[in-house]
Structures are given as C-alpha cells and as structure tokens.
Amino acid sequence: MTALAESPAGLFAGHEVPLGLYLGGEWTHPGKTFEVLNPSTGQVLAEVADGGPDHALAALEHAVAAQDAWRHWSPRRRATLFHRAHALLLERADAFADVMVLESGKPRAEAAGEFALSAGFFLWYAEQIAHLHGTFAPGSPGGYRVVTTHQPVGPSFLVTPWNFPLLMVARKGGAALAAGCTAVVKSAKETPLTAALFVKTLHDAGFPPGVVNLVHTSDSAAVSDVVLADPRLRKISFTGSTGVGSLLLAKAAKHIVNSSMELGGDGPFVVLDDADVDLAVREAIACKFRNAGQACVAANRIILHRAIAAEFTEKFVAATKELKVGDGFDDGVDVGPIITPVQLERVQSLVDTFTAAGAEVLAGGRRVESVGNFYEPTVLRLSDADPALCNQELFAPVAALFTVDSVREALAFANDTSYGLASYLFTKDLSRAFAISERLDFGMVGINRGIMADPAAAFGGVKESGLGREGGHDGIYEFLEPKYLAVTVNEEEVGE
C-alpha cells in the first residue's frame, strides 16, 4: 500500500472537513490527491486523498475485523450511540448544508432540506434498532419449534452518487450500521467532502474503529473491483446509474454477494383531465427542477391529457420562466448548476437532438453564459411520444411535455420504459387514482404530489430501476438475513 501520512483538513465556508481517507478509526492520507470543483464557479474547492485498491482493501480488512464485536452490541447500546450521532448531526446542520452547496451547487434551501431528510433517515434507523422482530411457530409435523431471527449480513460496501451527497450516505450508512453490519463507504468523487463530514460526525459520536470506513477515489472501477473480488465482503448497496449498477451486479455474482441497487429513473408525470391544474403545475416545477433536474425521481416525461394540456402548458412555462438560476448561496436562487462541464455539454446535445427531431422550445434551451455550469430551465413540447425520448433519463433541467387523448394512452406511454422508479399521477378522483396507480409499473406513485421522499416510506424501484428498498420498515432488512432455528421439543415429556 502507498505510505499513509498524517491527514490534513480544509476549511470550507468556515467548517473544518478532513481531506483524508478514514480507515480503522483514523484519518490517513495516501499522498496522492484529486481535485474537487465548485460547479458554480469552476474553481478548485479542495484536493482530497485519492485512494486506490490497496486502501479499499485495507478499509475492508478493518470492516471485517470490527464485524464480530459490532454485531454483538446490544440493540439498546447501538441505538444509544445512534441517538448521540443524530444529536451531533443536528448541531452541524449548517456545516452540512454549506458544504453541499459548495461541492454540488444546489441552492442553500434545498441543501438544508436534504440535511433535514438525511437526519430524519438516521433517526428512523436509530428507532428501528430496538424494534426488530423474529417469528415463532410449531414445526409442521410437531416435535420441534420454528424460530426465526435476523442476523447482520456482514461487511458491506456502500457506493454512493453525487446528486444527493448526504442523503445517499446517511440512508445507506444508517441502515447498514443499525442492522449491525460494518461498512466501507465509497464517496462520489464530485462530492467527497459531505461524505467526510458525515463519517467525521460518526467518529466524534464514538462509533468504534473499523465499524465505518471511508474511501475517496478517482478510480471507482479499480476500487470496486478489489472489494467485490474479496469473498469476505457480504453485501453491496449501490446508488447510481443503471449502467454502473448492472456492471457491479455482474461482479457481485462471483461470490453471490447480497445486492441492493437504487438505480436510474424515467418518471412519468401524468396529469389527467380532472386534475387540479394549479397544483399539478406547482408540483411539476418542484419535481422537475429540484437539484437542476439531476434527480432519479425527477419528472422525466410530463404526460398531459388533451383537455388540460393548453392550460397546464401556459402556466408551467410561465412558472419556469420565473425560476432564478445561479450560485446556491445567492438569495432567491431556485436552480443551481449542472454538476460538471461534461454533463453540461450532454444537456445541450440532448436539447439539440430533440429540437432537430421537431421539439418546440417553449422556454430556455441554452446554457447560461457564465463561469459556472449553468443551464436555462427549459421546456420542450414534443408533438407525439417521441420514441427517442422514451426510455432515457434526462437528468437535466429540461421538461419534456407530451399530449395524450385518453387515460389508456397515458398509461401505456407511462409504462413504456425499461425503468420503474417513481411515477406521478394528478386527478381529483381518488378511486380512479388507486385503480390507475395499481397499473403503473413503478416502485412508487406520487398521487397529487411531486415530492415523496420520507424515512417512513420504502424507497425503491422495479424493473431496471433497482433491487430492494431504502427506508420504511424494509430498509434495515436489506442488511439483515433471516436465520431459522429448528428446536426439538419433546411434547410428551416435561419431567418430574
């Protein structure tokens, strides 16, 4: 392994964040670094430690060494530690929000919202720790009892994306550690500072060495390869694109590693003829432009019943034109930058492709001339369900509007995708909403709302949007395995 030096920290908006790797309870530095850029200014924000396969392996070794003791902590003891960490997280709310604005560019208010949701997930898991149940039943033929309990899966590899830098780490980390698994967290290279602040908070709260480890890297594939090739790893939980998820699943197959996958989305946002149009417009703006459209659950195809299409379009375009684009620290900013210049290019070529195919530009359509990676909030009207647009994640502040003539047509178009994460339905008729939502092939349906993340809800997708759920009652069980004990009982004999 590269020699590890004492690890430095940096000051970001006045908050101290370690720049090293966190291995076995210590911040260490391999010497090599990579740059983290501020997407609003294009300037270098930090040079963080660039870990390689050796560091990932060291992180896994620490996780393996700590696993046995950690799983035997009593639920109450573990829950108490979680509550201490939750209290510390709350004390650092401003630091988390500021650092997220700096490295991801999201507006300050959105960053504060992400912090609140992340802390909420962590608290949810803290509350679950002491509430896990097993089952007890008579054996079918008699003569024994069927007892099931749950045991931690084992050392876990948590791979996270940049778009929700705290939520993704806290949602996975909370579930894994609450279940009694130890973890190696791999940050996203665009947003390592938020992950470092989270792990530092767990350290300061008193999480034992090796229980959580953090690796930053500029070479994700090399790091993932070595971890997934090691039979001591028992779990991977990944959030990111479907393409990378599929690659990692193939690698996890070698040692039959338990896998949870939160992948991409192609969310239909269906507005029916009897919808409250003003409500639908408000929710569509939030659902589409939050995080500059860079969200797995963003409205990808806005599908309008012809009866309300003109009214919705007029109001939606007017509301889009009101959105203020800029640095997340500036007052009143609604939409921040695209994460990298490469992604900004991708957004422009996406819009060019659609306009060349006949899409009408109703708002935006160009990058903002500035040093940052800003793109105008854009609305495109597609005359028909353009097959080129179906089945691809826009991941951009670009709204695509389609018009349909019937509920059946809306449903068929909504389901015509290989993805199955979030979907949205707007109608005033709740009975109709239930009937239609049962026919939507998605893991989640927002009924008359465009934002639905909640610690109490099981978040996740079907089809190529993933495997497993995060949050709700199911999230912690992604990191637990049932264990069945057959206990012989002599029913005829109780003794003297």
Q: Choosing from 114, 262, 283, 376, which is the catalytic residue?
A: 262
Out of 241, 340, 392, 448, the only residue in the binding site for ligand NAD (CB under 6 A) is: 241
**What would the two tokens of residue 266 be?**
């192609």
The question of whether 91 is a catalytic residue gets the answer: no
Q: How far apart are the first and last CA of the chain?
A: 65
Specify the residue, 288 or 381, whose C-beta has the smaller distance to ligand NAD.
288
Beta strands at 235-239 and 258-262: parallel, antiparallel or unpaired: parallel
Q: Choosing from 181, 287, 296, 390, which is the catalytic residue?
A: 296
Report the C-alpha gap between 286 and 90 in whole angstroms.
Answer: 25
The question of whether 296 is a catalytic residue gets the answer: yes
CB of 446 to ligand NAD, least distance (A): 15
Report the C-alpha gap between 134 and 148 in whole angstroms.
Answer: 5
Q: Under rule CB under 6 A, which residues in 284-313 are in contact with ligand NAD?
A: 296
Give rounded-to-5 percent helix, strand, coil for the chain: 40, 25, 40
In this chain, which stretch among 220-228, 283-291, 432-440, 478-486 interacts with ligand NAD, using CB under 6 A?
220-228
Residue with nearest beta carbon to ligand NAD: 240
CB of 339 to ligand NAD, least distance (A): 8
How far is residue 41 CA from its own chain's centroid?
Answer: 25
Out of 103, 114, 230, 262, the only residue in the binding site for ligand NAD (CB under 6 A) is: 262
Specify the residue, 12 or 164, whose C-beta has the smaller distance to ligand NAD.
164
Q: Under rule CB under 6 A, which residues in 119-138 are in contact with ligand NAD?
A: none
**What would the two tokens of residue 59 be?**
């992180």
Buried b (16+ CB within 10 A) or exposed e, 294-310: bbbbbbbbbbbbeebbe
Report the C-alpha gap between 445 and 450 in whole angstroms.
Answer: 9
Specify the residue, 71 or 189, whose C-beta has the smaller distance to ligand NAD.
189
In this chain, which stretch among 159-167, 269-277, 357-365, 373-381 interacts with ligand NAD, using CB under 6 A?
159-167
Q: Under rule CB under 6 A, which residues in 376-415 are in contact with ligand NAD?
A: 393, 395
Report the C-alpha gap between 280 and 316 in whole angstroms.
Answer: 9
Contact in structure between 271 and 302 (CB atoms under 8 Å)? yes
Out of 159, 196, 444, 480, the only residue in the binding site for ligand NAD (CB under 6 A) is: 159
Contact in structure between 153 and 480 (CB atoms under 8 Å)? yes
User: Residue 215 interacts with ligand NAD (CB under 6 A)?
Assistant: no
Which 3 state secondary structure label does DSSP give 302?
strand
Out of 240, 365, 397, 446, the only residue in the binding site for ligand NAD (CB under 6 A) is: 240
Specify the residue, 39 or 180, whose C-beta has the smaller distance to ligand NAD.
39
Task: Compute how many residues bind ligand NAD; rule: CB under 6 A.
Answer: 28
Which 3 state secondary structure label does DSSP give 377?
coil
Contact in structure between 233 and 52 (CB atoms under 8 Å)? no
Binding string, residues 172-211; x marks residues near ligand NAD by CB under 6 A: --------------x-xx----------------------
Q: Under rule CB under 6 A, which residues in 319-378 are in contact with ligand NAD?
A: none
Detail the DSSP E strand segments found in 167-310: 183-186, 212-215, 235-239, 258-262, 267-271, 299-305
How far is residue 273 CA from its own chain's centroid?
Answer: 33
Contact in structure between 261 and 245 (CB atoms under 8 Å)? yes
CB of 421 to ligand NAD, least distance (A): 6
Specify the residue, 161 or 180, whose C-beta has the smaller distance to ligand NAD.
161
Which residues are annotated as catalytic?
262, 296
Which residues are near ligand NAD by CB under 6 A? 159-164, 186, 188-189, 220-221, 224, 239-241, 244, 247-248, 262-265, 296, 393, 395, 421, 461, 466
